[in-house]
Amino acid sequence: MESQSLLSGLLLFAGGLAVFLLGMKSLNAGLRKASSGKIAGWLSSITGNSLSALLSGAVATIAVQSSSMVMLTLIGLVQSRILTFTQSLGVVLGAEIGTTTMAQLIAFSPGELGLPMFAVGFFLSLVRRKRGIALAGEVLAGLGLLFFGLKLMGLAVAPLRTSEQFLSVLATLQNPILCVLAGAVMTAIIQSSGAFIAIVITMAQQGTITLEVAVPLMFGANVGTCITAAIGSARSMRAARRVFLAQLIFNLAYVVVFVIFLSPYLDLIRSISPSDAAGGLPRQIANAHTVSNVFMAIVFLPFLPLYGRFLTKLLPDDPEEIGRIPAVWHLKDSALATPEVAVGLARQEIARMNKILGRMSRALLEPFLGTGNGRDIIYKHLPVSEGLLMREEKLDFLERKVTAYLIHIMQEATGEPLLRQAAALMALAKDLESAGDVVETLLEEFPSGGNGSQLTEEGKAEIERLHEQVCREIAAMNLAIAEMSFQRAAAVLKEGKAFERLFLELGFTHMKRIKNRPESGKTHDLHMELLRALDVLHHQTMSMARSIIRMAGGNES
């Protein structure tokens, strides 16, 4: 009979947990929509101030109620070089603090409010004409489901107080280290520290576990939540993997410190928390979670630069990865005080961007026509398509950096010639970035190379002729940009007329081939997209040449 009752309790508990997780998912989704992607923008604006990074991490986690989401966003920002690894460390500490708010909320025992909140939230979410009200309803409905799930779990665990089987299991968890391990494993399985801590607090509310068991379980949840960052950084570069390592070591240090001093720490928590029978224990658990995370953040904060250097030595950058990571080579902040020097550095960086585009353009046809060996020319372990996308990311990164640098120059510049040159360079950077986007779009539309192997030999030869012409134009722009030469830019424009004649001729030839050989129609889409991509690259190159000519005050014709 007891086993049947235990089975019913487990089913009720599983249902309550499912409702809780559904509510958390709905709550997170509503909060993410309300933030409209601002979390990544907010985190990406962090400067070198560790305290501001910590506060940003805490507020971001509170705003979306998901430290996992913040950690994954952070790994992405470090991977894309928008944030440095050292800047990310403060956010890691802040995320650990922000995640404690859910425990504080659950400690209020709001289970009875669950269904009314869900009902109100659901009907508000139907008000589609007013997005703000609908989003508020979605958040409220998610919170209501979360609270109702807690109530169901509470009903399920209440009978466990008298269950001999449960009490025998509980007896094995008197060792705090076993509690930490159990908490870590359970959190890793359900991939939500908030959900596991909710389970712990619910069991405490029903009197099935003590503070001595609950707090080590909660410590384990902090370690178990690192699994999300581990998965998110698994295929990332080493700088991004160090973010996961930073979180893991921080949480392991946290566990070691508080397990060693567990008894005096629990005495401290009891002294600063309510002790009434109804709500004392849940609040003590929530406070233990908050105080421990805040304490460890305060201890780590002054040593973050040192911590960052230690982790970099522990997991150093891979020299090959460094070449793949977007980075500026020529821009120096110290030169901004002398705009004439700074604009020369910006020109060098843009010339480098053009060389990157040249390398991309030379490899552009390989994924589609099967030319070459299918590997990147420099990073031999990368497929050629991944090498193209990696360089497209570099162009995006460099365009942002160069544009910001040129804006500083324009703010400091006094003469019109310098302003004109900075404006022309800004246009060049944008053209180069747009040219890179063409390659990305083509690879997205035909991710496996389309059916390029079925292109006719005549069709391949025509595309290669046009491709060779574009590569010559882009190569000719190298010196035009490096020297900001009116004559060289004019020569590129003149060369471009040959491309336009050839483009029209080859387009007409392709249409005749389709008419005479219907099988050519099978590859028509790919053929025309390749021609279009080459045409866009040509026009972006011509736009760059015109920018140089305009800067020199010359006539484009």
Q: Which DSSP symbol is given to 325?
A: S
As a whole number of angstroms, the distance between CA 318 and CA 240 comes to 12
Residue ranges and CATH numbers for the domains of the chain are 2-314 (no CATH), 333-551 (1.20.58.220)
Contacts of 241 (CB under 8 A, 6+ apart): 233, 234, 315
Q: How many CB atoms lie within 10 A of CB 131?
A: 11
Q: How many CB atoms lie within 10 A of CB 432?
A: 26
Long-range interactions of 251-256: CB distance < 8 A, separation 24+:
251/96, 251/222, 251/223, 251/225, 251/226, 252/223, 253/296, 254/219, 254/222, 254/292, 254/293, 254/296, 255/180, 255/219, 255/220, 255/222, 255/223
Residue type, 21: L
Q: What is the pLDDT of residue 435?
A: 84
Q: What is the pLDDT of residue 291?
A: 92
Q: What is the pLDDT of residue 260?
A: 92
The secondary structure of the chain in percent helix, strand, coil, rounded to multiples of 5, reads 85, 0, 15
Give the CA dihedral 131, 22, 279, 218, nearest 10 degrees.
Answer: -120
As a whole number of angstroms, the distance between CA 356 and CA 501 comes to 27
Q: What is the pLDDT of residue 1?
A: 44
Q: What is the pLDDT along the chain (557 residues), one digit of tens a residue?
A: 455 566 777 788 788 778 877 877 777 677 666 654 556 566 656 655 788 888 888 888 887 777 777 787 787 777 666 677 888 888 889 888 988 888 887 777 666 777 888 888 888 877 767 777 877 788 788 778 877 877 777 777 666 666 666 666 666 667 888 889 988 888 887 777 777 888 888 888 877 788 888 899 989 988 888 887 777 677 667 777 888 888 889 989 989 999 999 999 999 998 888 766 555 888 898 899 899 999 999 999 999 889 989 998 888 876 665 556 667 788 887 777 777 888 888 888 888 888 888 888 888 878 777 776 677 777 776 787 878 888 888 888 888 888 988 888 888 766 777 888 888 888 888 888 888 888 888 787 776 655 555 667 777 888 888 888 888 888 888 888 887 888 888 888 888 888 888 878 777 777 777 666 665 556 677 777 888 888 888 888 888 888 888 876 655 54
Residue 349 CA: distances (Å) to CA of 282, 344, 355, 523: 58, 9, 10, 39
Q: What is the pLDDT of residue 174?
A: 76
As a whole number of angstroms, the distance between CA 69 and CA 193 comes to 12
Q: What is the pLDDT of residue 162?
A: 61
Contacts of 417 (CB under 8 A, 6+ apart): none
Q: What is the pLDDT of residue 5?
A: 62
Are 451 and 400 in contact, with CB atoms under 8 Å apart?
Answer: no
By C-alpha distance, which of 66, 92, 418 is closest to 246? 92
By C-alpha distance, which of 504, 492, 509 is closest to 534? 504
By C-alpha distance, which of 47, 49, 46 is closest to 60? 46
By C-alpha distance, which of 381, 91, 77, 70 is closest to 237? 77
Residues 161, 162, 166: CA angle, nearest 5 degrees? 70
Q: Is 126 helix (H, G, I), strand (E, B) or coil?
A: coil
